[in-house]
Amino acid sequence: MNLFERIVRPTPRFFRRLRNIGIGLSAIGGAIVAEAYFLPSVLTKIAGYLIVAGTVASVVSQTVINDKNDDDYPPPDGMAAPGPNPLLDVNR
């Protein structure tokens, strides 16, 4: 299973919540960093950590799938796994 197939599969409920919390942390950190001129430097540094933690939590949570046989779940309609890239074919 490649990364594209993993991302389009259903995500468990807990990890959807964790993903949304991570997106919220990133948004809060981004808002604080945007107004960094008026805030203490310690708060700006903490906001940077919030952005990193929120982004990592969101990305990792999105790639978690149910631990069942992968052949039981075909890709969603209209979402097919990409084929080989003809531009990278060294045998042409």
The answer to whether residue 80 sits within a structural domain is no
Per-residue DSSP letter, 39: S
16 in any annotated domain: yes
Residue 56 forms part of a structural domain: yes
List, in order, residues 6 or more apart from 75 with CB less than 8 Å away: 5, 8, 9, 81
**Which pLDDT score, from 0 to 100, does residue 5 have?**
77
Residue 77 inside a domain? The answer is: no
Residue 53 forms part of a structural domain: yes
In whole angstroms, what is the distance from residue 91 CA to residue 79 CA? 28
Give me the domain span that covers residue 4: 1-63
Judge whether 40 lies within some domain: yes
pTM of the predicted structure, to 2 decimals: 0.65
Give a yes or no: residue 87 inside a domain.
no
Report yes or no on 89 lying in a domain: no
Domain count, the chain: 1
Task: Round the average pLDDT of the chain to a whole number and report it.
Answer: 82
Q: Is the pLDDT of residue 73 over 60?
A: no
User: Who has greater pLDDT, 67 or 59?
Assistant: 59
